[in-house]
A and B are shown apart, each in its own frame.
Chain A
């Protein structure tokens, strides 16, 4: 980054609209790939024909079973994966900027665990008597978990720097464990064996069984999150030197922190209520994108959203084809990629200090 020619890095940083040109074709290509690849791969041209039939009302002759798989099953799944990836990556960017901690991530901070607990509480024991949805339950759980972790971290000595980064990760572990235990307790108490098995599988992060109906939750959540983040690009940048510095740059610190953390929790909750908790996306993607586009949010936010979407579509493809005849939970794939990256970040931080 240091050696990048000044002009090119300038225009790359400045022009938000550029992303409106870059993102759609890449996203489209990823979606088509996610739809074509799988246990039985379907040729690209068939995929494109089915899409043309469905979207533009074209009348290409296609196999009805292929059409069914492509449209109802794989495309819906790829769209949900894309939204989850974008949402989780954005949550990671927001949390890292506001907490000034490169290890902040909805999964590591226990927000995903809290969301799972909330979703399970609604789904199994029927909290709210059917009046609240799983997503709403997940949102409340996510906020409770974040409040718990934030309180624990501040009691243990907040601030910034290496020690504080360690403290918040430890607090996150405590929070994750607590909420995972609560979830396990709820399942053991109220679910039968069959339900329990299904829920455990779902909790590991899973896209099986995702249908078009699920896009009603995740698409608006991702778009809303992206919009709110874009409206706060300068505010996020202003936190670079801490919250006092942000305040002296005219940012209403409390309001921005509260609002954006709520939005990050909302996105995480929406995603978790559909797919279970998929780990490490919010950690890996923003870090990778910082290396590519720098740390300024006008580039980092759109790049992370796009890369997160593509990453999760790819992870889902891998989950479906890596073991023939069996579908791996997608959370396993992201963890296999994410855990080593997490380790690299830890080592890199030591070297940088």
Chain B
């Protein structure tokens, strides 16, 4: 499924949060979305997911402009994992993941064996087997994040948008989740802060002050000048002695003034 946007912009009180963002995702690719805090990554992802209405421009899902699609049709092909999702309700892990089947079930349609199998698989995929009956508010931050990812997987989407999916995870689960996402045969957009992890993406999109500053394969995009100009840090590239892949080593940040 192809996701594309043209001249996407969003503003609040005449302040441009995202402007002029145009992107075309290749089928099956994993696109990394990087940029400093407040550069508009989450806002762009929300617009791409159809949960926030852009002030200008349009998103096309499978060639159709999003406003012409019903919310339900969008949710049947596209899933979003939010950066901060929380609830006060006493909901179990299983019930939270079951929400992922919402777009596929009509009002009084009963729960089927298929739905059950999909939910079980999604829980297993994020390594939460045995947590099914735990209450949401008893989970750790990383466990909650994995529940959200499982919920999105239960939607069996063709396009998956993840907003910092690894930010609360321990290193093992960070790598496991990224690998899992990478191997999904669908189109993925992942907002990330760890630039070394971003290198496993097929392409990288750099955002800065609400604009798309660069777009391309990691080796071209991530350069020492870019680290300095966009992120304000000094870093240089080394080669991993094991597999020859590039690794960024950061030196020091500029003072935050």
A4 to B88, CA, bound (A): 21
**Is B192 at the interface (CB under 8 A from chain A)?**
no
A93 to chain B, nearest CB (A): 12
**Is A245 at the interface (CB under 8 A from chain B)?**
yes
> Is the beta-carbon distance between A2 and B71 smaller than 8 angstroms?
no
Among residues of A, the one whose C-beta sits closest to the C-beta of B74 is A250
Q: Which of A112-120, A185-193, A197-205, A230-238 contacts B (4 or more CB under 8 A)?
A: A230-238
> Which B73-100 residues sit within 8 Å CB-CB of chain A?
73-76, 78-80, 82, 85-92, 95-96, 99-100
> Is the beta-carbon distance between B71 and A250 smaller than 8 angstroms?
yes
> Is the beta-carbon distance between B75 and A248 smaller than 8 angstroms?
yes
User: Mask for B123-148, Cβ within 8 A of A = 1, else 0?
Assistant: 00000000011110100000000001
Q: Which of A46-54, A62-70, A71-79, A290-298 contacts B (4 or more CB under 8 A)?
A: A290-298
> Is the beta-carbon distance between B134 and A2 smaller than 8 angstroms?
yes
Q: Which of B16-24, B46-54, B167-175, B207-215 contacts A (4 or more CB under 8 A)?
A: B46-54
> Is the beta-carbon distance between A249 and B85 smaller than 8 angstroms?
no
Among residues of B, the one whose C-beta sits closest to the C-beta of A15 is B110
List the count of A-B residue pairs having beta carbons below 8 Å apart.
Answer: 96
Among residues of A, the one whose C-beta sits closest to the C-beta of B88 is A102
Contacts of B82 in A (CB 8 A): 241, 244-245, 248
Contacts of A245 in B (CB 8 A): 82, 85
**Is B219 at the interface (CB under 8 A from chain A)?**
no
Interface residues contributed by chain B, number (CB under 8 Å): 42
Interface residues contributed by chain A, number (CB under 8 Å): 35
B122 to chain A, nearest CB (A): 14
> Which A284-319 residues sit within 8 Å CB-CB of chain B?
290, 294-296
A209 to chain B, nearest CB (A): 39
> Which A230-268 residues sit within 8 Å CB-CB of chain B?
230-234, 237-238, 240-242, 244-245, 247-253
> Is the beta-carbon distance between B102 and A249 smaller than 8 angstroms?
yes
Contacts of B74 in A (CB 8 A): 250
> Is the beta-carbon distance between A242 and B90 smaller than 8 angstroms?
no
> Which B34-83 residues sit within 8 Å CB-CB of chain A?
46, 49-52, 70-76, 78-80, 82
> Is the beta-carbon distance between B102 and A14 smaller than 8 angstroms?
no
**Is A16 at the interface (CB under 8 A from chain B)?**
yes
A251 to B50, CA, bound (A): 11
> Is the beta-carbon distance between B89 and A295 smaller than 8 angstroms?
yes
A236 to B137, CA, bound (A): 20
> Is the beta-carbon distance between B135 and A2 smaller than 8 angstroms?
yes
**Is A163 at the interface (CB under 8 A from chain B)?**
no
> Is the beta-carbon distance between B90 and A250 smaller than 8 angstroms?
no
> Is the beta-carbon distance between A241 and B105 smaller than 8 angstroms?
no
Query: B110, B133, B135: which contacts A6 (Cβ < 8 A)?
Result: B133
> Is the beta-carbon distance between A247 and B50 smaller than 8 angstroms?
yes
> Which A1-54 residues sit within 8 Å CB-CB of chain B?
1-2, 4, 6, 14, 16
Q: What are 30 sample pairs from A and B whose C-beta atoms fall under 8 A apart?
A: A1-B90, A1-B135, A2-B92, A6-B132, A14-B110, A16-B108, A232-B107, A234-B107, A238-B102, A241-B82, A241-B85, A241-B86, A242-B87, A244-B46, A245-B82, A247-B50, A248-B49, A248-B51, A248-B78, A249-B75, A249-B100, A249-B102, A250-B74, A250-B102, A250-B103, A251-B102, A252-B72, A253-B71, A349-B88, A352-B88
20 more CB-based (< 8 A) A-B contacts, given A245-B82, A248-B80, A249-B75: A2-B92, A14-B111, A100-B87, A102-B88, A160-B88, A231-B108, A237-B102, A240-B87, A241-B85, A241-B86, A244-B82, A248-B49, A248-B75, A248-B78, A249-B100, A249-B103, A250-B102, A252-B71, A349-B88, A352-B137
Partner-A contacts on B (CB < 8 A): 46, 49-52, 70-76, 78-80, 82, 85-92, 95-96, 99-100, 102-103, 105, 107-108, 110-111, 132-135, 137, 148, 155
Q: When A and B form their complex, which 3 residue pairs have the shortest distance between CB atoms, in order from nearest?
A: A250-B75, A250-B103, A250-B72
